[in-house]
Amino acid sequence: MRPVPHLPLLWGAFLIGIPAITLLVYDAGVIRFVSLAAFLLFLGFALCDLLWSRPLLETISCKAPELVRGTTGRAVEIPLTFLNHGKDLRVLRYGVPATRFFRAEDEVEGTIEALPKGRARSVIFSQIPLKRGNYVMECLYLEIPSWARFWLL
């Protein structure tokens, strides 16, 4: 899992972090301590959001076919089923890597809105094989926002 900063974190860094660091460096009075406290509070909140949100991704399971059989020029429909074992999710983004053996008919990424606890959602995406054969689905990418939406996990 690679956490990626999301827009609220970047805006917070722009509106809180940069001014706080600037005042910390260039001011010599009491404002220096206030800016240090504001910066450390913002940094602590962002890190706590990351640490508390890490287990969210572990509660999602995905069922996908291990082997996909295809014929040249015919669209192959690949079903994906996502099951949420943890808390309710507002947004789940998924992506299937494009390989050199397929031509994507539709988008290879998508979004599932509101995946409640204990519920499953199924999506189907189509790809067209460039030659006949059996193909293995190697990986699938998932992305969810953290609790405070500071990070994309």
Terminus-to-terminus CA distance in the chain, angstroms? Answer: 7
What's the pTM?
0.74
Please say whether the beta carbons of 135 and 64 come within 8 A: no
**What's residue 105's pLDDT?**
60
**What's residue 125's pLDDT?**
79
119's tokens: 């519920």
Q: What does the pLDDT profile of the chain (153 residues) look like in tens digits?
A: 688 888 888 898 899 888 988 888 888 788 888 888 889 999 999 999 999 988 888 888 888 888 888 888 788 888 889 998 888 888 888 887 767 777 766 667 788 888 888 888 888 877 888 888 877 777 788 888 888 888 888
**What's residue 45's pLDDT?**
93
**What's residue 48's pLDDT?**
93
1's tokens: 């899992």
66: which DSSP letter? S
**What's residue 57's pLDDT?**
81
